[in-house]
Amino acid sequence: MCAGTTLFFTVVSCRSHSKQLKTMATKIRIKDIAERAGVSVGTVDRVLHDRPNVSPPAREKVEKALKEMNYQPNMYASALAYNKSYTFFLLIPMHESEAYWEEIEEGAKKCEDTRRDFHIDVEIRYYQRFNEDSFKDKCIEILNSSPDGVVIVPAQLDITRRFTDKLHDHNIPFVLLDSYMPDLRPLSFYGQDSFCSGYFAAKMLMLLAAQEKEIMLMRQTKDGKLVSKQQDNREVGFRHYMHDHFPEIEIVNLDLPLQGTRKEYEHTMENFFIQHPHLHHCITLNSKAYLVGEFLLKTNRRDVQIMGYDMVAKNVECLRQGSISFLIAQHAYLQGYSCVDTLFNAIVLKKKVTPVNYMPIELLSKENVDFYRRTQL
Residues 164-196: tens digit of each pLDDT: 999 999 999 999 999 899 999 999 999 999 999
Q: What is the distance between the alpha carbons of residues 123 and 147, in angstroms, rounded to a whole number?
A: 10
Domain 194-329: CATH architecture, name and number where available: 3-Layer(aba) Sandwich (3.40)
Please identify, in words, the CATH class of the domain defined by 82-191+332-360.
alpha beta
pLDDT class for 76, splitting at 50, 70, 90? low
Opening angle at CA 44, ends 40 and 49, nearest 5: 145
* Closest C-alpha to 125, from 143, 113, 112: 143
- Residues pairing with 88 in the sheet: 122, 149
What three-state secondary structure class fits 304?
coil
What pLDDT digit, counting tens, does each position of 80-135 carry? 656 789 999 999 999 876 668 988 999 999 999 999 988 999 999 999 988 899 99
Residue 15 reports pLDDT greater than 70: no
Q: What is the pLDDT of residues 248-305, one digit of tens each?
A: 999 999 999 988 899 999 999 999 999 999 999 999 999 899 999 999 999 999 899 9
Please tell me the distance from the alpha carbon of residue 131 to that of residue 127, in angstroms, as a whole number: 8
**In this predicted structure, what is the pLDDT of residue 12?**
36
What DSSP line would sit under 273-292, residue for residue?
HHH-TT--EEEESSS-HHHH
Q: What is the pLDDT of residue 71?
A: 77
Q: Looking at the chain, which runs of residues are DSSP E strands? A: 86-93, 120-127, 149-152, 174-177, 188-191, 214-222, 225-226, 250-257, 281-284, 305-309, 324-329, 356-358, 362-364
Q: Which CATH architecture has domain 30-73?
A: Orthogonal Bundle (1.10)
Domains 30-73 and 194-329 share a fold: no
CA–CA gap between residue 115 and residue 346 (Å, rounded): 14
Task: Record the pTM.
Answer: 0.75
* The predicted structure's pLDDT at residue 75: 60
Please state the domain extents for the chain: 30-73, 82-191+332-360, 194-329
pLDDT number for residue 376 = 54
Q: How confident is the model at residue 234 (pLDDT cuts 50, 70, 90)?
A: very high
